[in-house]
Amino acid sequence: MIVYVFDNTLNGLLTAVFDSFFLKQQPEFLLAEGEQLPLFADEPHRVVTDVEKSERVWKGLEKHLSKDGLHMITISWLSEDRALNQPLFNFICKVFRLKVKELERNASDPDVLEVRNTCRRVLHEQLRMKQFIRFQKAKDGTYLAVVSPDHNVVPLIIGHFQDRFNDQPWLIYDAHRHYGYYYDGAAAPIRITFEDEATVPFDLSNGKMNDDILSENDQLFQELWRTYFKAICIKERMNPKKQLSDMPRRYWKYMTEKNANL
Amino acid sequence: MLTEKTMEKLRILAESAKYDVSCSSSGTVRSGKKGMVGNTVGGVGICHSFADDGRCISLLKVMLTNYCMYDCAYCINRRTNDIKRATLSVSELEEITMEFYRRNYIEGLFLSSGVVRNPDYTMERLTAIVRDLRTVHRFNGYIHLKTIPGASQELLQEAGRYADRMSINIEIPKEESLKALAPEKDHKSIFLPMSQIQQGVLENKEDRRKFRHAPRFVPAGQSTQMIVGATKESDKDILLMSNAMYQQPTMRRVYYSGYVSVNTYDPRLPVLKQPPLVRENRLYQADWLMRFYHFKVDEIVDDAHTHLDLDVDPKLGWALRHPEFFPIDINSASYEDILRVPGIGVKSAVLIVNSRRFNRITSYHLKKMGVVMKKAKYFITCGELTSVFSQPIIGINELRPERLRPLLLSKAQQKRAAAEQQLTLNFEE
């Protein structure tokens, strides 16, 4: 039984594809470092991540896949789901072995379908971030939003917010992955991390800004929004099930209309 | 400056506006501009929140004022109703819109108003607000503006330069019913502005072909709404009207609003315990069939079926009426034919058509792609599900529609149907 172990990066996975063709092997398992080896496994082959090799594989992919197909790989990778490793590896190997154009469209292949569905899940969540992010305004005019998405989708949405709020400085912070993007109102957004998260002037568990830096009438607008949210509902049509399916509870903690301290 | 009073006003005016169901922020893509705030994303738009009734909140849906000189029986804001009245000042409304937008609460503004003094006066005030938002506040997000029936064409022409979408509600599909409920309105006052806006859009298209930078006019087109269940109109009347609307090149959406008994005292209106939600849902499904599934309106409703079946969705209803159309061979049928199979939606139909170039599709694949096999299996042949090679399948033609129908009802519906058929013994004698 052939087992490959890689460092759980996309470059590592592409290098694993390279190794598999170079060594003329078809590994049964592709595992990330630290994962449990299957029973009766021989000494696994350790994939040494090599950017040169991974770039060669990527160039090959560009020849066989459409733009959508390439996006499917990069976007699904942002899911950070370990269950994706094996299907993604199989899919990329199949692209080179079968040599058919646009294999990403073949949803009857279980590996393609798995990558496809993962990609769809990630895109769905990035849409939810665009929907549910709530900014608070600080005294210095910076708008802050805290999120903690299931998948690593923040890089996918900063373009949207840069385009939309191009004249206001903002910070979108991923509390789960401990990094964020800061936009100063002019230059391209930059990735930032805090050395000591305990000293940041906002609460990471509910995204609320400390009162001393919150701008003067931000509370008022939050209250206005909550009032509006309650008023727009038609009592005769109550449908909490629909609300939950469109706006799952895990997003509520950072949403102004749902996290009031009552 | 905003005060506690503003909050009360916003509450009153949101409650007055909420029975207008139009919500979408779709139909136009406009990227951000230097010196302006906002963009529009197109596609299906972005819903920013979902209220407790499950309806999406995309735009700040609010009325400028809920004072109204008309007395339309179905409307909460009718002149004779004893409700709290309020008017937002122009600066209040603009500030709320901008601050909400900057906090990512909303996608833009949906502005409507009761008619005060006369239609032109009201329309002028609405136009002034959207003009201000665009030119003073440099707002580049989505604006949906309600057209006031009877407003002059010049005002519509101006408002259309600032708004993304304009809408005017038909409310009641038949003119005689409309006249009975809203004596001050007639169909002409609704369809005239509609066609004026359409003409504006078409002229604008022509202009933009010659001058690339000509300002756009109502780029996201029009929408309209019909009330369901307030009058005796059948589903056929409603759907024929929507079909006629969709023939217009600028009409993007028709909304259906299940009537909520707001004015129970009026003898012209029915008293409903619950809004007709199932019927409303069936109408939306029929609407989707016309827009995305290549159905014609006379396939969904006709003289024999003036009302949609409340137990089964209109697509399944059509399939049960047309067993001769089935079975559909998944591996060779056209995209349009596959779309007609109950249990297969647009997404899975696209997947099927794309995938079958690579290999034959079997029922296992279909299940993995998200097809509802519980329904679809009676209407298709594919790979192993064929009557030629293996054991005969049991499809709609073997079962006959009348025996298949009960199998496809949900558990709750089956129970209800059984209860209706069961004879009750009367022990009272």
Task: Supply the pLDDT for residue A138.
Answer: 94
Distance CA A224, CA A207 (A): 19
A132 touches chain B (CB under 8 A): yes
pLDDT per residue as tens digits for the range A79-105: 999 999 999 999 999 999 998 888 999
Banded model confidence at residue B384, pLDDT cuts 50, 70, 90: low
**In the predicted model, is pLDDT for residue B390 greater than 50?**
no
Query: Is residue A261 a part of any domain in this protein?
Result: no
**In the predicted model, is pLDDT for residue B388 greater than 50?**
no
Banded model confidence at residue B288, pLDDT cuts 50, 70, 90: very high
pLDDT per residue as tens digits for the range A102-141: 899 999 999 999 999 999 999 999 999 999 999 999 999 9
B411 CB contacts (<8 Å, ≥6 apart)?
none
B372 shares a domain with B331: yes
A51 shares a domain with A152: no
Task: Please provide the average confidence, as pLDDT, over all residues in chain B.
Answer: 90
SS (H, E, C) A37-89: CCCCCCCCEECCCCHHHHHHHHHHHHHHCCHHHHHHHHHHHCCCCHHHHHHHH
**Bridge partners (DSSP) listed for residue B253:** B223
Task: Supply the pLDDT for residue B382.
Answer: 80
pLDDT per residue as tens digits for the range B201-245: 999 999 999 988 888 999 999 999 999 999 999 999 999 999 999
Going from the C-alpha of B31 to that of each of B94, B174, B211, B298, the distances in angstroms are: 22, 41, 20, 40
Vertex B144: Cα angle to B274 and A259 (nearest 5): 65
Percent of chain B predicted with pLDDT > 70:
95
A237 touches chain B (CB under 8 A): yes
Task: Inspect the interface and report whether the beta carbons of B19 and A241 lie closer than 8 Å.
Answer: no
Chain B environment of A131 (Cβ under 8 Å)? 46-49
B414 shares a domain with B271: no
Going from the C-alpha of A79 to that of each of A117, A124, A254, B368, the distances in angstroms are: 11, 11, 21, 20
pLDDT per residue as tens digits for the range B186-201: 899 899 999 999 999 9
Of the segments B42-56, B95-109, B415-429, which one has the largest average pLDDT value? Answer: B95-109
Do A145 and A183 touch, CB atoms closer than 8 A?
no
Distance CA A191, CA A88 (A): 27
Task: Supply the pLDDT for residue A152.
Answer: 95
Task: Supply the pLDDT for residue B427.
Answer: 66
Query: Which residues, numbered 362 to 421 in chain B, qualify as contacts with chain A under a Cβ-Cβ cut-off of 8 Å?
Result: 362, 365, 368-369
The bridge status of strand B222-228 relative to strand B49-50 is: unpaired
Banded model confidence at residue B389, pLDDT cuts 50, 70, 90: very low
How far is B277 from chain A, CA to nearest CA, in Å? 8
A151 shares a domain with A202: yes
SS3 B198: helix
Structure tokens at B347: 């997404």
Q: pTM for the full model?
A: 0.91
Structure tokens at B140: 């580049």
Residue A30's H or E segment, with its range, is: strand A29-32
Q: What is the CATH number of the domain that holds B279?
A: 3.20.20.70
Structure tokens at A16: 């694993």
Task: Supply the pLDDT for residue A113.
Answer: 95
- Among the listed residues B320, B304, B307, B315, the one whose alpha carbon sits nearest the alpha carbon of residue B338: B315
B91 shares a domain with B183: yes
The boundaries of the domain holding residue A27 are 3-125
Do A126 and A137 touch, CB atoms closer than 8 A?
no
- Report the residue of B30, B37, B50 to disrupt the A interface, i.e. the one with the largest count of A CBs within 10 Å: B50
Comparing CB atoms, the residue among A109, A163, A229 nearest residue B39 is A163
Q: How many CA atoms lie within 13 A of A138 on its CB side?
A: 18
B132 shares a domain with B91: yes
Which residue do the tokens 């004893």 mark? B82
Query: Is residue B8 a part of any domain in this protein?
Result: yes
Going from the C-alpha of B216 to that of each of B56, B194, B201, the distances in angstroms are: 27, 17, 8
Distance CA B201, CA B160 (A): 9
| Mean pLDDT along residues B351-362 | 92
Mean pLDDT, each 10-residue run in order, chain A (262 residues) = 92 95 92 85 88 95 93 95 94 92 91 95 96 94 94 95 94 94 92 89 88 90 94 92 94 89 56
pLDDT per residue as tens digits for the range B104-130: 999 999 999 999 999 999 999 999 999
Task: Inspect the interface and report whether the beta carbons of A163 and B49 lie closer than 8 Å.
Answer: no
Query: Is residue B426 a part of any domain in this protein?
Result: no
A101 shares a domain with A148: no
A169 shares a domain with A109: no
A196 shares a domain with A104: no
**In the predicted model, is pLDDT for residue B264 greater than 90?**
no
What is the value of ipTM here, to two decimals? 0.93
Query: Is residue A89 a part of any domain in this protein?
Result: yes
- Report the residue of A214, A232, A255 to disrupt the B interface, i.e. the one with the largest count of B CBs within 10 Å: A232
Task: Supply the pLDDT for residue B152.
Answer: 92
Q: What is the DSSP string of B86-150?
A: -B--HHHHHHHHHHHHHTTS-SEEEEE----S-HHHHHHHHHHHHHHHHHTS-B-SEEEEEPPTT
How far is A134 from chain B, CA to nearest CA, in Å? 6
Q: Into how many domains does chain B fold?
A: 2
- Among the listed residues B383, B391, B296, B295, the one whose alpha carbon sits nearest the alpha carbon of residue B342: B295
A115 shares a domain with A74: yes
| Mean pLDDT along residues B20-29 | 87
Lowest-pLDDT choice from B37-51, B69-83, B399-413: B399-413
**Bridge partners (DSSP) listed for residue B41:** B29
- Looking at chain B, which residue has its C-alpha nearest residue A251? B49
Banded model confidence at residue B133, pLDDT cuts 50, 70, 90: very high
For helices B4-17 and A218-231, what crossing angle results, to 10°? 30
Chain B environment of A68 (Cβ under 8 Å)? none
Task: Supply the pLDDT for residue B212.
Answer: 84
| Mean pLDDT along residues B273-299 | 94
A142 shares a domain with A119: no
